[in-house]
Structure 1
């Protein structure tokens, strides 16, 4: 089914560009890894988009969008402009798609956006070894508390490597996107 044809052109443009823009937004939310991490994250973004084109299990709408995102790779440089607007675009599409596309398909697409964000954050370990002991302690206490909550609530625990690979600024950016997309995310 051609879901994108149901959308007005301006909304199609946002929906198709967001997988790339979300990844770039997360990549640029933390500059501690410098140019090296940005390069790794850009390559990871291309690989992630390619993976989701091949992963049709997520939903037909998400698959169609990811295919169009990849096919529009020549526009990626243009899509990198005004990256600070990504959270607002996520909020806008949450409301705009609700009466046009099947809610299950929209949810799968929004979950894909969050998965792209998390995968990009994990693409390069930016845990700053020069961070203050207090900052490191805060991170480790947070991990310990999360583990306790997970243990008592029956949640699946994430590994320390997974958690440490996402910097505090990336976590904040992912949280903002997940709130605007109305998709729950746990670290």
Structure 2
């Protein structure tokens, strides 16, 4: 067996729900800029999950997990309800991946989740300029360009603390990083 078929349905739901739940949790960590900011962050999250699936395409199961996240889009609103309690599930997901799929898969999953978190946290500052660009250029194209440009662009030292995020989002990213720690 390969891919996500090595996991039970309950385990697949855990792994597939976390990319979305993490994004919602990061977005909710700083609610000072209001609904417009939240909408930008949710747009960024949806596009980010799609781009992460492409970024991690190839051998391994992270892309399979992210495609499963996308396939279950009808579950996203329900998953958002459980976003407040995401950290214990992150620890469980990393342990599950490490035990069933190996340390490298756990590391890849962690990296994808951290990229999603950083992209959502940066959505306000990075994506707010889209309002000033003429609509005929296509919002999705502009978002994709920003997201793709942001993937893997952080140095190792800055990877867990991206620029242009609020103190609350930075704190949430630090907590997430600790929860997604892969045991050596």
Q: Same fold (TM over 0.5)?
A: yes
Q: How many Å apart are 1:110 and its aligned residue?
A: 1.2
Answering whether residue 76 of structure 2 is matched by residue 64 of structure 1, we say: no
Partner residue, 2:51: 51
In the alignment of these two chains, the number of paired residues is 151
Distance 2:70 2:52 in 1: 10
Which consecutive aligned stretches of 4+ in structure 1 deviate over 6 angstroms post-superposition? 155-158
Q: How many Å apart are 1:56 and its aligned residue?
A: 3.3
Tell me if the contact between 1:59 and 1:105 (Cα under 8 Å) persists in the aligned partners.
no
SS of the residue 1:52 aligns to: helix
Answering whether residue 166 of structure 2 is matched by residue 167 of structure 1, we say: yes
Tell me if the contact between 1:20 and 1:45 (Cα under 8 Å) persists in the aligned partners.
yes
Residues 34-53 of structure 1, C-alpha deviation per residue, up to 9 Å, x if partnerless? Answer: 10000000000011011112
Partner residue, 2:179: 180
TM-score norm. by structure 2 comes to 0.75
Change in 2 beyond 3 A, CA 1:105/1:167: same
Partner residue, 1:10: 10
Tell me if the contact between 2:97 and 2:105 (Cα under 8 Å) persists in the aligned partners.
no
Partner residue, 1:151: none
Bigger-Rg structure (1/2): 1
Change in 2 beyond 3 A, CA 1:64/1:110: same
TM-score norm. by structure 1 comes to 0.74
Q: How many Å apart are 1:3 and its aligned residue?
A: 2.3
Cα-Cα RMSD: 2.1
Residues 108-146 of structure 1, C-alpha deviation per residue, up to 9 Å, x if partnerless? Answer: 0111001100010000039xxxxxxxxxxxxxxxxxxxx
Change in 2 beyond 3 A, CA 1:70/1:156: closer
Mapping for residues 68-107 of structure 1, pairs under 5 Å = 68-107=68-107
Partner residue, 2:33: 33
Distance 1:54 1:12 in 2: 19
